Structure 1
Amino acid sequence: MEDTVRITKKAAFSGLALVSTAALLAGCGSAPEETDGGDGGEALDYLPCMVSDFGGFDDKSFNQLGFEGMVAAAEELGVEYTEVESQAETDYNANLQNLVDQGCNTIVTVGFALAPAALESALANPDVEYVSIDDTVDQDFDGTTDAENIKPLIFDTAQAAFLAGYLSAGVSQTGVVGTFGGQNFPTVSVFMDGFAQGVDYYNEEMGADVQVVGWDREAQDGSFTGGFEANDTARQIAQGLIDQNADIILPVGGPIYQSAAAAIRDSGREIALIGVDADVYETDPSVGDLLLTSVLKGIDVAVHEAIVEAGNGNFDPTPFVGTLENEGVGIASFHDWEDRVPAELATKIEELQAAIIAGEIAVESYLAE
């Protein structure tokens, strides 16, 4: 796997789309100590590294966000970084060992699928620091991370998806909205379930009967492609939702939104798309006209903060949980759809966000306290 490793001198990455680094992220420390920042002072002896899941760093979603966060942190610290891209799940162990062998001080693993390999590597290398995106690495399910040198970065996206669900119910003209995912893992279904809760809340408040297709809250199951690739399976599932009259679709699973966009364009109907993780309007302008909003994870900011802290000798394994309150999750602006969102509905979304933060509305999820 060594030929898949790319080493970049003095982090530089065009088009960084970081959420404000002034956001107050729970579990993150105070501002880092000053470093040379590349101005000729004494350089840090520190090498941050990252391994992607098989979606790759150009997925315009969580792998890309994680990578952007590491690049920005390396640039701030004035150090080099190393990344390795996985082509399949069978690459994970070898890629992690490759990074250990290169002397990486902190290794960021992107995605829950990497958790077992990350744990094995962390236990075998207690002097290396690990940052796990989207998984607590609690393989024995006792409520704590299974290695002291792993810092989990996890995100309660149900809160933000609730807002997107309420918004969708208010915008829908057919009274049917849909969602589907890559695989039925908690980090995927948390979006779908939060979305459905938002629709339910709209129905209760407005006396409406907007239907959600693609997810059954009671069964905790729904429509899944079986993977995280933009392919014909994803397009067919999206088409199935369209055939059920859905006019807003939330695909959860990295690039599978591209297949949903293709199905929407083929339909010739006015159907809105909702992105996940990044503001897809910014990361993939080719689908910008379809996007009502995106359900955001502050992965880039959380990775940036974790790496800067670790680079300055302040690695903290305390899990970070992104919420609406600490701006670790949120929803993007309505962009091209702004004129189709009634002003009173937009105001209501702001009020709902404040109510969730205040604890007046409880959004159920596996991460909720």
Structure 2
Amino acid sequence: MKTWKRTSAITAAALVAAASLAACGDAPEEGAEKKNDYLPCILSDAGGFNDKSFNQLSYEGVKEAAAKLGSEYKEFESKNENDYAGALEGFVSAGCDTIVTVGFALAAATKESAKANPDIEYILIDDAADGGDDGKTFDGKADEANIKPILYDTAQAAFLAGYAAADYTKTKVVGTYGGQPFPTVTIFMDGFKQGVDYYNKEKGTKVKLVGWEGNDKGVFTGGFDANEKATNTAKQILDQNADVILPVGGPIYQGALTAIKDSGKDVALVGVDADFFETDPNTQAIVFTSILKNMKTSTYEAILAAGEDKLDMAPYVGTLENDGVGLAPFHNFESKISDTLVSELDTVKAGIIDGSIPVTSYLNQ
């Protein structure tokens, strides 16, 4: 049981954040200790805990782990980047034993807080906490010893999605666009491109990918909001005759929903992070598949280990082999895909796992 004592210079911003921290806790699971004083805390990025994506999945992992441990938990939902530092100071003041920060946007604030509070464990989702705040380098070790990075080699799962999209497209054009060119965004686009290229090589086809050339050359909305720019960016992709579209960047996929509806065309959507068919019923008629990051389980397991004083601070990297990433079912498209696609994807997946089909990303270069 952790019984650390801490002191912190609380700024005015931190006092505001501390006052607004939500203390939560479900009833402990049967057999769990009734009053475990271990306290996990979670801070979202500006997308919030209802983003139907990585914030929500990580939050659910913390919530379920706290219930399993028989402890309460605290949460703070950021409105913008100005909330990060104050919320983290609020967590320190509240006595949090483990602080989960969700998203690469929180890397700088997390590292600063971790350096100032070496007796607190930090779990940083989707950033290596290594080599600066752009996340573009990864040497297997966080800058601060008390940060555990949880990362996902989503290029592997996106490769499968790209292969599937190339097999499905009727126009022989598929497209993608992102929020901003961060590595945790472009890793999807890189994998998707590699999957399309591999399909073309194996099948002797010429399916075209629009919206991404690699090396940060592609189409981006400039942010992660479901706004007019997100819709117009999706329209830009559809105007190039794409009939499969992959938006990468949390809520920006909602712009694609609008663009697809306005186009009146038969366009398939590829989701990211979570299975959109399950998390957003509005997508069910058009979601082809989703590129999954098993964030809920990996966050759950990390908090459970931390609550039992067993957290290994080495970075976790989700892959196809350890089920940290994957491809969602085709749901309503099962009757529309080719008879051989599923078996082909199984073969490709096995090749990625055994290394005979290489997939490159910033995590394995």
TM-score (normalizing by structure 2): 0.92
Deviation at 1:342, TM superposition (A): 1.1
For 1:312-323, what aligned pairs fall within 5 Å after superposition? 312-323=308-319
1:299-318 Cα offsets, whole Å, 9 max, x none, are 11000000000001112111
Contact 1:4/1:85 (CA < 8 Å) preserved in 2? no
Gap change, CA 1:203 and 1:130, over 3 Å in 2: same
Among 2, 24, 27, the residue aligned to 1:8: 24
Partner Cα separation in structure 2 for residue 42 and residue 294 of structure 1: 38
Partner Cα separation in structure 2 for residue 52 and residue 348 of structure 1: 38
Gap change, CA 1:40 and 1:56, over 3 Å in 2: closer
Contact 2:25/2:67 (CA < 8 Å) preserved in 1? no
Partner Cα separation in structure 1 for residue 105 and residue 138 of structure 2: 19
* Relative contact order higher in (CA < 8 Å, ≥ 6 apart): 1
1:97-140 Cα offsets, whole Å, 9 max, x none, are 11111100000000011000000000100111000000110135
Gap change, CA 1:38 and 1:5, over 3 Å in 2: farther
Gap change, CA 1:104 and 1:347, over 3 Å in 2: same
Q: Which amino acid aligns with 1:9?
A: G
Partner Cα separation in structure 2 for residue 321 and residue 188 of structure 1: 16
Deviation at 1:42, TM superposition (A): 5.7
2:12 equivalent in structure 1: none
Q: Does 1:147 align with 2:139?
A: no
Gap change, CA 1:243 and 1:82, over 3 Å in 2: same
Q: Does 1:192 align with 2:178?
A: no
Give ranges in structure 2 of 5+ residues lacking alignment: 1-16
Among 297, 302, 309, the residue aligned to 2:298: 302
Deviation at 1:10, TM superposition (A): 2.5
Partner Cα separation in structure 2 for residue 224 and residue 104 of structure 1: 37
Deviation at 1:5, TM superposition (A): 2.3
Question: SS state of the match for residue 61, structure 2?
Answer: helix
Question: SS state of the match for residue 343, structure 1?
Answer: coil
Partner Cα separation in structure 2 for residue 42 and residue 159 of structure 1: 41
Q: Does 1:239 align with 2:235?
A: yes
Gap change, CA 1:89 and 1:41, over 3 Å in 2: closer
1:158-188 Cα offsets, whole Å, 9 max, x none, are 0000000000000000000000001001000
Contact 1:38/1:78 (CA < 8 Å) preserved in 2? no
Question: SS state of the match for residue 151, structure 2?
Answer: strand
Partner Cα separation in structure 2 for residue 364 and residue 325 of structure 1: 15
Deviation at 1:90, TM superposition (A): 1.2
Partner Cα separation in structure 2 for residue 316 and residue 142 of structure 1: 18
Question: SS state of the match for residue 107, structure 1?
Answer: strand
1:161 equivalent in structure 2: 158
Aligned residues: 344
Q: Does 1:177 align with 2:201?
A: no
Gap change, CA 1:116 and 1:60, over 3 Å in 2: same
Q: Does 1:340 align with 2:336?
A: yes
1:284 equivalent in structure 2: 280
Deviation at 1:220, TM superposition (A): 3.2
1:112 equivalent in structure 2: 104
Among 261, 266, 278, the residue aligned to 1:265: 261
Give ranges in structure 1 of 5+ residues lacking alignment: 12-35
For 1:58-73, what aligned pairs fall within 5 Å after superposition? 58-73=50-65
1:18 equivalent in structure 2: none
Q: Which amino acid aligns with 2:294?
A: G
Q: Which amino acid aligns with 1:157?
A: T
Question: SS state of the match for residue 246, structure 2?
Answer: strand
Partner Cα separation in structure 2 for residue 42 and residue 142 of structure 1: 40
Partner Cα separation in structure 2 for residue 345 and residue 38 of structure 1: 43
1:291-340 Cα offsets, whole Å, 9 max, x none, are 00000001110000000000011121110000000000000000011111
2:217 equivalent in structure 1: 221
Q: Which amino acid aligns with 1:234?
A: A
